[in-house]
Amino acid sequence: MSYSIIDGKAISAQIKEECKQQVLAYKEKGIEICLAVIQVGADPASSVYVNNKKKACEFCGMKSLSYELPEETTEDELLALIHKLNDDPSVNGILVQLPLPKHIDEDLVIRTIDPKKDVDGFHTQSVGALCIGQPGFVSCTPAGIIQLLKRSGIEIAGKECVVIGRSNIVGKPMALLLLRENGTVTVCHSRTKDLKEVTKRADILIVAIGKPKFITSDYVKEGAVVIDVGIHRNENNKLCGDVDFDDVAEKTSAITPVPGGVGPMTIAMLMHNCVASYELQN
Q: Which distant-in-sequence residues (6+ apart) come within 8 Å of 146 by Cβ?
A: 156, 177, 178, 181
Measure the CA–CA gap between 110 and 88, rounded to whole angstroms. Answer: 17
Q: Angle at the Cα of 142 (from 200 to 132), degrees rounded to 5?
A: 100
- Residue 163, judged by CB atoms within 10 A of its CB (0-12, 13-18, 19+), counts as buried
State which residue, 112 or 199, has the beta carbon closest to ligand NAD: 199
Question: In the bound complex, what is the minimum distance in angstroms from residue 168's beta carbon to ligand NAD?
Answer: 8
- Indicate if 97 belongs to the active site: yes
Question: In the bound complex, what is the minimum distance in angstroms from residue 160's beta carbon to ligand NAD?
Answer: 17
The H-assigned helical ranges of the chain are: 8-28, 44-60, 75-87, 106-112, 124-131, 140-151, 171-180, 195-199, 245-248, 263-281
Distances (CA, A) of 203 to 26, 38, 54, 197, 245: 40, 39, 37, 13, 17
> Residue 207: in which H helix or E strand, if any?
strand 204-207
Measure the CA–CA gap between 241 and 201, rounded to whole angstroms. Answer: 21
Would you state the torsion angle of the CA atoms of residues 146, 149, 152, 157, taken in this order, to the nearest 10 degrees? Answer: -110
Q: Residues 120, 203, 228, 242: which is the catalytic one?
A: 120
Question: In the bound complex, what is the minimum distance in angstroms from residue 267's beta carbon to ligand NAD?
Answer: 8
* β pairing state of 184-188 and 160-164: parallel
State which residue, 114 or 247, has the beta carbon closest to ligand NAD: 247
State which residue, 171 or 257, has the beta carbon closest to ligand NAD: 171
Backbone angles phi, psi at 233, to 5 degrees: -110, 130
State which residue, 181 or 228, has the beta carbon closest to ligand NAD: 228
Question: In the bound complex, what is the minimum distance in angstroms from residue 39's beta carbon to ligand NAD?
Answer: 17
State which residue, 136 or 171, has the beta carbon closest to ligand NAD: 171
Measure the CA–CA gap between 119 and 101, rounded to whole angstroms. Answer: 21
> Residue 39: in which H helix or E strand, if any?
strand 34-40
- Indicate if 120 belongs to the active site: yes
Q: Nearest residue to ligand NAD, using CB?
A: 167
State which residue, 81 or 265, has the beta carbon closest to ligand NAD: 265
Q: Residues 97, 147, 159, 203: which is the catalytic one?
A: 97
Question: In the bound complex, what is the minimum distance in angstroms from residue 142's beta carbon to ligand NAD?
Answer: 9
Sites of contact with ligand NAD (CB under 6 A): 141, 164-167, 169-171, 188-190, 192, 195, 208-210, 229-231, 242, 262-263, 266
Question: In the bound complex, what is the minimum distance in angstroms from residue 178's beta carbon to ligand NAD?
Answer: 15
Cite the active site residues.
Answer: 53, 97, 120
